[in-house]
Amino acid sequence: MSTFGAYARLIRIGWVLAREGVITALPSENLPALARLGQSAAGLLAKPRAKKQERSDRLARAVGRLGPSYVKIGQFLATRPDVVGADFAADLAFLQDSMATFPMADAVATIEGALGRPVGELYTRLDPPIAAASMAQVHPAFVLRDGREEKVAVKVIRPGVRQRFANDLEAMYAVSHLQERFVPHSRRLRPVEVTRTLEQTTKVEMDLRLEAAALSELGENTADDPGFRVPKVDWERTGRDVVTMEWIDGVKMSDVEGLKRAGHDLNRLADTLIQSFLRHTLRDGFFHADMHQGNLFVDPTGVIVAVDLGIAGRLGPKERRFLAEILYGFITRDYRRVADVHFEAGYVPGHHNVASFAQAIRAIGEPIHGQPAETISMAKLLTLLFEVTELFDMETRTELVMLQKTMVVVEGVARSLNPRFNMWKASEPVVGQWIADNLGPKRIITDLKASLHAAVRLAEAAPEIAAKTEAFSREVTLMAEHGLRFDPLTAQAIGKAEARHTRSGRVALWVIAGLLAYIAYLIS
């Protein structure tokens, strides 16, 4: 997509946000004078009813007008309070991923195109959709197994969503580049990298084979876990644009009264939920990263079933150890250890003072421990932690932010079940056991095994490494003697790309100037 197209989309986004009163609701502190002037001008464009709405309502209405891609973008930004701020992240978290359904004919065409067979051969019956989101919609269906019908859920990708998202992503990249250029203090948040993460996350989410693989992996990891499971995948009826899985009969966790009527122990469910999440994170390094109430069911036996695994998170062994030590440090009030872990992990630049950072961590931990157990909130802890890490130049760690967001959401679900839920008490058995198993003698044996395995792989690769090093040395010698040269085709391609970029940039700037002049005319 051209530069002009990206800027045109930016202007449309700005117009919709201004009309729905979102821009006027943005915090104005720390904004340059020109930006504050633009915010005031945007207030003149807002609809009268928009000025009376809550900010979250304005956001939801604006995002709905912009389309499905922006619902997904908004939900992603809700996971990044470090980028958009805690208040706006909370508002964005209320975005409902509920869109209009698309026609049955389109769903049938997508299924047959993805699986290469007529729908009548795949299912004995395919019913109309019962839910539609920004990326896909879900149909109840039936398949024949061992001579009897079995109900399944069929998730079908929304037609054309990939191209629409690719176009909208160009505008996101334009915004992030402008932010890095003109808002220096935001560079530590790496907005371009955040956009790149959004692109990768959504590409994965739009390939339903990968969601099926994630369900399968999580299912294997949790096969012996008490009180938690995920639906089974029907691989015969799964492709890039469609996934078929077990139908779940149960009560949504958002229906607290329904859970009570079904006789479920809400306190036990709250503990099981947070312990399951921590078990997946610390033990397996692989977790469901979208565990809100709408994606969690409780089956008739009292087992929690998590669905819609389009977004998953991973942590490596080192990150898991750091996470466990940080959590355990807060639980046991060992703030120096929490600070040391941040420095060991490289989360805080080494030029800062460890003792000063530990003092800042204590300022977070002590007020929380001074509260009644049921009011100790992970959300509050993370909000304070974001504020402190900014003082110490801590850069965004994408994998940790996704984990932190999911932990906050899971804690919120647990508190909806049990208002007196104690996050720390529920977490301690899982975290403490992991610490005992992985940071004691067992860890030494595991590290030795890993080191031995790495040494064997290095020895196997040694001949190839030597050959590549020798070839690289020859190339460097030739470069030193004759200079760096491009072949004619490469030089020609670079020249054309630069000329095209310059032309499109000039055109885009003139179009933007014209549109802004038109808006100014409307205001006057």
Just list the catalytic residues: 290
The length of the chain in residues reads 524
Q: Which amino acid is located at 123 in the chain? A: Y
Q: Report helix, strand or coil for 108.
A: helix
What is the DSSP secondary-structure string of 480-519? HHH-----HHHHHHHHHHHHHHHHHHHHHHHHHHHHHHHH
The span from the CA of 202 to the CA of 79, in Å, is 14
Beta bridge partners of 245: 153, 233
DSSP 8-state assignment for residue 128: P
The span from the CA of 247 to the CA of 422, in Å, is 33
- The answer to whether the beta carbons of residues 56 and 91 sit under 8 Å apart is yes
Reading the block at residue 260, the tokens are 């009570």
- The answer to whether the beta carbons of residues 238 and 208 sit under 8 Å apart is yes
The span from the CA of 401 to the CA of 323, in Å, is 12
Reading the block at residue 84, the tokens are 């958009």
The span from the CA of 166 to the CA of 150, in Å, is 37
Q: Which ranges of 67-190 does DSSP label H, i.e. alpha helix?
A: 68-77, 81-84, 86-92, 104-115, 119-122, 161-182
- The answer to whether the beta carbons of residues 142 and 125 sit under 8 Å apart is yes
